[in-house]
Amino acid sequence: MSTTDPHSSSGPRRATRDGHRDNRPARRSDHEAARRGDAPGRGEGSRPGRAAARAGDAVQPARRVAFDVLTAVRHDDAYANLLLPTAIRRAGLNTADAGLATELCYGSLRMRGYYDRVIELASGRPVGEIDEAILDVLRLGVHQLLATRVASHAAVNESVSLAREVGSRSATGFVNGVLRGITRTEPEVWREKVAAAASGEDDRLSALYSHPTWIVRALRQALRAEGRVEELEELLAADNIAPAVTYIALPGQAERPAEGEPTAYSPLGFHLGGGDPEAVIRAARGLIRVQDEGSQLAALALSRARAVTPGESWQDLCAGPGGKAVLLGAEALASGATLVANEVVPARAELVRKALAVLPEPIEVREGDARIWGELYPHSADRILVDAPCTGLGALRRRPEARWRKTAKDLADLGVIQADLFQSALGALRPGGILAYVTCSPHIAETRGVVSEGLRRHPEIELLDTVGILESLTDSPLDLGEGLRHGSGSTVQLWPHRHGTDAMFIALLHRPA
| pLDDT tens digits along 167-195 | 888 899 999 999 999 999 999 999 999 99
User: pLDDT tens, 417-436?
Assistant: 999 999 999 999 999 999 99
**Alpha carbons 175 and 482: distance in angstroms, whole number:** 49
pLDDT for the residue 466 = 97
Whether pLDDT at 252 is above 70: yes
Q: What is the CATH number of domain 17-187?
A: 1.10.940.10
Confidence of residue 86 (pLDDT cuts 50, 70, 90): very high
What is the band of 222 on the pLDDT scale with cuts at 50, 70, 90? very high
Task: Tell me what pLDDT residue 481 has.
Answer: 83
Ranges for all domains in the chain classified under CATH 1.10.940.10: 17-187
**Is 354's pLDDT higher than 60?**
yes
Q: Average pLDDT, stretch 443-447? A: 97
Q: For residues 275 and 254, give the distance between their C-alpha atoms in angstroms, rounded to a whole number.
A: 19
**CB 413: neighbour CB atoms within 10 A?**
10
State the span(s) of the chain assigned CATH 3.40.50.150.
291-510
Report d(CA 238, CA 500) in Å as an integer: 9
Indicate if the pLDDT at residue 28 is higher than 50: no
What pLDDT, in 10s, does the model give residues 286-303?
Answer: 999 999 999 999 999 999
pLDDT for 33 beyond 50:
no
Q: What is the pLDDT of residue 27?
A: 30
**Largest interatomic CA distance in the chain:** 77
Helices (H), 389-437: 402-405, 410-428
Q: What is the 3 state secondary structure string of 168-228?
A: CHHHHHHHHHHHHHHHCCCHHHHHHHHHHHCCCHHHHHHHHHCCCHHHHHHHHHHHHHCCC
The answer, yes or no, to whether residue 158 has pLDDT greater than 90, is: yes
Residue 307 CB neighbours (<10 A): 6
pLDDT at residue 66, rounded to an integer: 97
Given the residues 105, 318, 390, 440, the one annotated as active site: 440
> Residue 30 pLDDT > 90, yes or no?
no
Q: Say yes or no to pLDDT of 50 above 80.
A: no
The mean of the pLDDT values for the chain is: 89
Q: Which of 25-39, 232-246, 269-283, 311-325 has the least mean pLDDT? A: 25-39
Q: How confident is the model at residue 57 (pLDDT cuts 50, 70, 90)?
A: low
* Average pLDDT of the segment spanning 59-64: 94
Contact 404, 212 (CB under 8 A): yes
Indicate the length of the chain as a whole number: 513
CATH 3.30.420.40 applies to domain 291-510 = no
Helix (H) or strand (E) holding 298: helix 293-303
390 noted as active-site residue: no
Check pLDDT > 90 for residue 1. no
Q: In this model, does residue 24 exceed pLDDT 80?
A: no
Which carries the bigger pLDDT value, residue 343 or residue 32?
343
Using CA atoms, how far apart are residues 462 and 227, in angstroms rounded to an integer?
A: 25
Residue 185 confidence (pLDDT): 97
Average pLDDT over residues 222-247: 96
pLDDT tens across 135-151, in order? Answer: 999 999 999 999 999 99
What is the pLDDT at residue 476?
Answer: 87
Rounded distance between C-alpha atoms, residue 461 and residue 454, angstroms: 9
pLDDT of residue 5: 32
Q: Over the stretch 310-335, which tens digit does the pLDDT of each residue have?
A: 999 999 999 999 999 999 999 999 99
Mean pLDDT of 334-338: 97
pLDDT in tens, 454-466: 999 999 999 999 9
Predicted TM-score (pTM) of the model is 0.87
Q: Is 77 helix (H, G, I), strand (E, B) or coil?
A: coil
| Helix residue spans in 336-444 (DSSP H) | 346-356, 373-376, 402-405, 410-428
CA 375 to chain centre: 32
Note the pLDDT of residue 51: 35
pLDDT digits 0-9 by tens, 398-410: 999 999 998 999 9
Look at residue 274 in the predicted model and tell me its pLDDT.
79
Helix (H) or strand (E) holding 278: helix 277-283
Q: Which residues of 326-350 are buried (b: 16+ CB within 10 A; e: fewer)?
A: bbbbbbbbebebbbbbbbbeeebbb
> pLDDT grade, residue 483 (50/70/90)?
confident
